[in-house]
Chain A
């Protein structure tokens, strides 16, 4: 403590800016980690809270994926003696004249056994229950929703339904609390039979919520209901819901983990760099301490404690920034999921969980300590006699360099071996780590080599300043190697993320060219991913008769559990599809695949389904519908971007047979050659648009929508890129600040012997730009390797699609001036500080 107070604290106060910049890496890493995870967890927690609130006292829920099931299931379940109450539910998102609402279609007669409808201004569930039941336009809303829109009982809310535009009447307002707080109050209750018509569900329910008799074991009841209904039904507690939501957000979690780990890794080098310089600067101090009897252990502990304090301070700041970041990110994730799921799940509380804070603190502290281990060891090894002699000791010893090269060689060889066995997950990730480690270990030597190579170039530009700048880098590699390594890692991250984004867009565009061949898409929503409303087949039959229409494909997309995971089934007339679309083949025989699928002898799986869920070509899948359980082999694997978790393409007839569901989500419309697209579109709208909810999207509209969704997904990537660039810039500023401080005497001497201020400025500027160039060169090289691994990570664990390797040359063109300008800008402050300082003080330095 005494050493900290007497030695460390004055040094930190004197180099406050440097301390702050050093902590920046930790701050950013922790902030990203805490921010992304907190946002993710908060949205997920809010989602689960909503599930709980909607579930009420429900103990078991019966569903059949998203396809729903026929009404008789309710009576069958109710007949079981274990069941105290069973209530049907339709749950769907809808945009109304007053904003988006999650509509819960319930049977108000029996639903109160499960859910508490605490009403405003009444002791009864609804002011006039009979009127609520008698009138199909009845709606109960929450007080939150009503207050926000200044509406009261009797108010009208318009909605486009499958029966055309309808006006609903508010016949009850729920008090805040419990059910009324689900989805932030954006919830409305409707009679279930009215909801069937509104959403085009025919005579089907989405699920049945069940409460059991007292004393009945949950597991036993689930087993009995499952046995009664068969494998086509999911019988589970309400807490099992939201798997899809979780799967989506887990991708965010993985991506944010990678970013924060990278940010911390970069931060580690910034800390290492600062401490390495600090050890050099404080050699005389260390020498005096050692001469006064301080042990090596005490010196090592002093540096490690400094690092720990810096790490903890950085962590604390990072947590604060992280919480602020989480608040912004929660809205972003919520918005993104609302595009995918229809209703925005806002997080009312954005607070990090204790384990997250503990993990962030451990990460921040560990990063800081690991970064300081080598400088601390070096400090402990300082010879007191030599240390008390004046002069700098910045150069890397030949031995040090050789050892690193040997380690780099070992890592490179191990990484190459891992590459050969990269089909095994942990070996692949191990190889990835070793490849990065190789680059890190080689970075000082490569920097030196680059600096030497740049010397003639710099000298050619400005003989004096260029030579001085190059020599500074060559003679003091330790001062800049950490910065260059940090810059290299940052740029590698940027290149890999940018490359990944580019390749994804290219792959998606290629898929859209092939898969999205129809001229028009007739949907129930402006967003083609929304599945709340469905069409009856009759609409498609009608569209077929519209003049100018050549062919109409009926598409049903539903998520159903396959191997326990909700997977998108795309049910379509395969023969018709094959006439227009040949999806990019990954495995299988394109000549027979579609015929076999059409005959119902197999299904076609998407590449991402196969990869993410470990299924193979030829494997027999069990696809259980309410009416029939299908056992079908995978007869082809194709590239398909229909769903993030993968999709299964099957013939529509087969689907209808097993799921007893002939509803349609989208009609894909092909026009006759020469037909006027605008006219056909208008005819469809005029003929059917007034009778029911219907949107006709052009091919261009659909592509634009997909690109918009993809842009939103990659929004996170752009945040990561911004973080990486920011860390890189901070690294440069840090290195130059340290460099100027370190060279104050040298710069003072230069001025004393007649060096002009501008010459000093130019020297520092050129050194900064040279750091930028070296970092850029190494970063691009490592980025090229890193991109390979990123593509692999995406293929294996993120999107499950082989998106191909495409080095982002465009990004390099953008990045190069940014980094070089940033380096130059970062040098302005330190350069001015160098030329404006007191010459006498500078000459006395050290």
Chain B
């Protein structure tokens, strides 16, 4: 699955039928020096139990060379819990978690990346950005308004392959189906597109966990691009201080 499931989609030219070039174009159109939004997560569990959480997300750099942070703001009993993600172009990201009540930061091991991200339907791996060069692509179908592309990770991943649907007119991801050896794991749909500072951006991402039959909806508020964010904000020390 092409990384940045939480990222936004873009409009662009339709010059290529080469899947790698299509994905590269998607990345190019999403390019921004930084990003910030306030997210609201709604997790609807198998028993229709609903849990809502909020976080603040900031990112600096992009695609395989970015750093991002998110910090929970609500509910009160999770407030302050944070994540720092340092993406690398040639390998899996480094991830740390900060828990203020315990006063410890903790590195998220590679082996734990397939674990669900704090009870949502995202996994820790889904928070990573991976560069286009970390995948092999195959154009499976031209479905009129969209391309259907298969991506296979070159490096270790919980997913064996993914199907990506990309809208031709604005080069945005519309849907992703992620599979492992046993079959379909997650379906991610991007909705409510709007242009923010010239970048086509999905305002809602829905993740469906096929095995647990649960759904997570992430809504993006106060989304901004190219803010003046300092590199020092993306360190463990800063993570401990909160956003």
A residues with a Cβ closer than 8 A to B are 75, 78, 83-86, 107, 109-110, 112-113, 122-124, 126, 128-131, 133-136, 191, 193-194, 197
Could you list 4 further interchain pairs (A-B, Cβ under 8 angstroms) beyond the known A123-B45, A128-B51? A133-B81, A134-B80, A136-B101, A136-B102
* Of B45, B77, B108, the contact of A109 (CB 8 Å cutoff): B108
Q: Tell me whether A78 and B78 are in contact in the complex, defined as CB-CB below 8 angstroms, given that A134-B99, A191-B102 are known contacts.
A: no
A22, chain B: closest CB distance, angstroms? 67
B118, chain A: closest CB distance, angstroms? 4
Query: Lowest 7 A-B CB distances belong to which pairs?
Result: A130-B118, A110-B112, A129-B119, A134-B78, A193-B104, A136-B101, A109-B112
Q: What residues of chain A lie closer than 8 Å to B97, measured between beta carbons? A: 109, 133
Q: Is A84's CB under 8 angstroms from B81's CB? A: no
Q: Is B111's CB under 8 angstroms from A135's CB? A: no
Q: Is A193's CB under 8 angstroms from B106's CB? A: yes
B87, chain A: closest CB distance, angstroms? 19
Nearest A residue to B41 via CB reads A130
**Complex Cα gap A678–B53 (Å):** 54
**Complex Cα gap A129–B115 (Å):** 11
Q: Tell me whether A130 and B81 are in contact in the complex, defined as CB-CB below 8 angstroms, given that A78-B109, A109-B112, A124-B119 are known contacts.
A: yes
**Complex Cα gap A83–B109 (Å):** 12
Q: Is B72 an interface residue (CB 8 A)?
A: yes
Q: Is A84's CB under 8 angstroms from B111's CB? A: yes
**Complex Cα gap A135–B75 (Å):** 12
Nearest B residue to A84 via CB reads B111
Q: Is B197 an interface residue (CB 8 A)?
A: no
* Of B77, B107, B110, B124, the contact of A134 (CB 8 Å cutoff): B77
Q: Is B116 an interface residue (CB 8 A)?
A: yes
Q: What residues of chain A lie closer than 8 Å to B78, measured between beta carbons? A: 130-131, 134
Q: Is B81's CB under 8 angstroms from A78's CB? A: no
B125, chain A: closest CB distance, angstroms? 13
Q: Tell me whether A78 and B108 are in contact in the complex, defined as CB-CB below 8 angstroms, given that A124-B119, A131-B77 are known contacts.
A: no
Q: What residues of chain A lie closer than 8 Å to B212, measured between beta carbons? A: 123-124
Q: Is A86's CB under 8 angstroms from B81's CB? A: no
* Of A75, A86, A123, A197, the contact of B46 (CB 8 Å cutoff): A123
Most chain B C-beta atoms within 10 Å of own C-beta, residue among A122, A126, A134: A134
Q: Is A130's CB under 8 angstroms from B115's CB? A: no
Q: Tell me whether A135 and B115 are in contact in the complex, defined as CB-CB below 8 angstroms, given that A123-B46, A191-B102, A193-B104 are known contacts.
A: no
Q: What residues of chain A lie closer than 8 Å to B109, measured between beta carbons? A: 75, 78, 86, 109-110
Q: Is B116's CB under 8 angstroms from A130's CB? A: no
Nearest A residue to B104 via CB reads A193
From residue 71 to 97 of chain B, which have CB atoms closer than 8 A to chain A? 72, 77-78, 80-81, 97
Nearest B residue to A124 via CB reads B119
Q: What residues of chain A lie closer than 8 Å to B81, measured between beta carbons? A: 130, 133-134
Q: What residues of chain A lie closer than 8 Å to B72, measured between beta carbons? A: 130, 134
Nearest A residue to B115 via CB reads A109
Most chain B C-beta atoms within 10 Å of own C-beta, residue among A86, A107, A128, A193: A128
Q: Is B106's CB under 8 angstroms from A78's CB? A: no
B residues with a Cβ closer than 8 A to A are 45-47, 51, 53, 72, 77-78, 80-81, 97, 99-102, 104, 106-112, 115-116, 118-119, 124, 212, 214
B51, chain A: closest CB distance, angstroms? 7
Nearest B residue to A113 via CB reads B111
**Complex Cα gap A133–B102 (Å):** 9
Q: Is B102's CB under 8 angstroms from A193's CB? A: yes
* Of A78, A122, A129, the contact of B118 (CB 8 Å cutoff): A129
Q: Is A129's CB under 8 angstroms from B116's CB? A: yes
Q: Is B119's CB under 8 angstroms from A130's CB? A: yes
**Complex Cα gap A193–B104 (Å):** 7
Q: What residues of chain B lie closer than 8 Å to A122, measured between beta carbons? A: 45, 47
Q: Tell me whether A135 and B45 are in contact in the complex, defined as CB-CB below 8 angstroms, given that A75-B107, A130-B72 are known contacts.
A: no
Nearest B residue to A112 via CB reads B115
Q: Tell me whether A134 and B101 are in contact in the complex, defined as CB-CB below 8 angstroms, given that A78-B109, A110-B111 are known contacts.
A: yes
Most chain B C-beta atoms within 10 Å of own C-beta, residue among A84, A109, A112, A191: A109
Q: What residues of chain A lie closer than 8 Å to B110, measured between beta carbons? A: 78
**Complex Cα gap A133–B46 (Å):** 21
Q: What residues of chain A lie closer than 8 Å to B119, measured between beta carbons? A: 124, 126, 128-130
**Complex Cα gap A193–B99 (Å):** 10
Q: Is A78's CB under 8 angstroms from B77's CB? A: no
Most chain A C-beta atoms within 10 Å of own C-beta, residue among B51, B101, B124: B101
**Complex Cα gap A702–B127 (Å):** 56
Q: What residues of chain B lie closer than 8 Å to A78, measured between beta carbons? A: 109-111
Q: What residues of chain A lie closer than 8 Å to B99, measured between beta carbons? A: 133-134, 136, 193
Q: What residues of chain A lie closer than 8 Å to B100, measured between beta carbons? A: 134
Q: What residues of chain B lie closer than 8 Å to A113, measured between beta carbons? A: 111-112
**Complex Cα gap A75–B94 (Å):** 13
* Of B46, B115, B118, the contact of A110 (CB 8 Å cutoff): B115
Most chain A C-beta atoms within 10 Å of own C-beta, residue among B106, B108, B112, B214: B112
**Complex Cα gap A130–B115 (Å):** 12
Q: What residues of chain A lie closer than 8 Å to B107, measured between beta carbons? A: 75
Q: What residues of chain A lie closer than 8 Å to B47, measured between beta carbons? A: 122-123
Chosen A-B contacts, 18 in total, with CB atoms closer than 8 Å, are A75-B109, A78-B110, A78-B111, A86-B111, A110-B111, A110-B115, A123-B47, A123-B212, A133-B97, A133-B99, A133-B118, A134-B80, A134-B101, A136-B101, A136-B102, A191-B102, A193-B104, A193-B106
A544, chain B: closest CB distance, angstroms? 28
Most chain A C-beta atoms within 10 Å of own C-beta, residue among B99, B102, B106, B214: B102
Q: What residues of chain B lie closer than 8 Å to A135, measured between beta carbons? A: 77, 101
B203, chain A: closest CB distance, angstroms? 23
B95, chain A: closest CB distance, angstroms? 10
B83, chain A: closest CB distance, angstroms? 11
**Complex Cα gap A86–B214 (Å):** 28
Q: Is B118's CB under 8 angstroms from A194's CB? A: no
Nearest A residue to B101 via CB reads A136
**Complex Cα gap A75–B111 (Å):** 11
Most chain B C-beta atoms within 10 Å of own C-beta, residue among A78, A83, A110: A110
Most chain B C-beta atoms within 10 Å of own C-beta, residue among A113, A122, A131, A191: A131
Q: What residues of chain B lie closer than 8 Å to A124, measured between beta carbons? A: 45, 116, 119, 212
Nearest A residue to B212 via CB reads A123
A163, chain B: closest CB distance, angstroms? 11
A193, chain B: closest CB distance, angstroms? 5
Q: Is A197's CB under 8 angstroms from B111's CB? A: no
Q: What residues of chain B lie closer than 8 Å to A136, measured between beta carbons? A: 99, 101-102
A591, chain B: closest CB distance, angstroms? 50
A72, chain B: closest CB distance, angstroms? 11
Nearest A residue to B81 via CB reads A134
**Complex Cα gap A555–B116 (Å):** 44
A259, chain B: closest CB distance, angstroms? 52
B63, chain A: closest CB distance, angstroms? 26
Nearest A residue to B116 via CB reads A129
Q: Tell me whether A194 and B115 are in contact in the complex, defined as CB-CB below 8 angstroms, given that A123-B45, A134-B77, A134-B81 are known contacts.
A: no
Q: What residues of chain A lie closer than 8 Å to B46, measured between beta carbons? A: 123
Q: Is A194's CB under 8 angstroms from B112's CB? A: no
**Complex Cα gap A191–B101 (Å):** 12
Q: What residues of chain B lie closer than 8 Å to A194, measured between beta carbons? A: 102
**Complex Cα gap A112–B123 (Å):** 14
Q: What residues of chain A lie closer than 8 Å to B214, measured between beta carbons? A: 123
**Complex Cα gap A112–B77 (Å):** 23
**Complex Cα gap A84–B112 (Å):** 10
Q: What residues of chain B lie closer than 8 Å to A83, measured between beta carbons? A: 111
**Complex Cα gap A702–B100 (Å):** 40
Q: What residues of chain A lie closer than 8 Å to B116, measured between beta carbons? A: 124, 129
**Complex Cα gap A133–B80 (Å):** 12
Q: Is B102's CB under 8 angstroms from A197's CB? A: yes
B148, chain A: closest CB distance, angstroms? 31
Nearest A residue to B110 via CB reads A78
Nearest B residue to A169 via CB reads B77
A109, chain B: closest CB distance, angstroms? 5
Q: What residues of chain B lie closer than 8 Å to A129, measured between beta carbons? A: 116, 118-119
**Complex Cα gap A86–B111 (Å):** 8
A712, chain B: closest CB distance, angstroms? 39
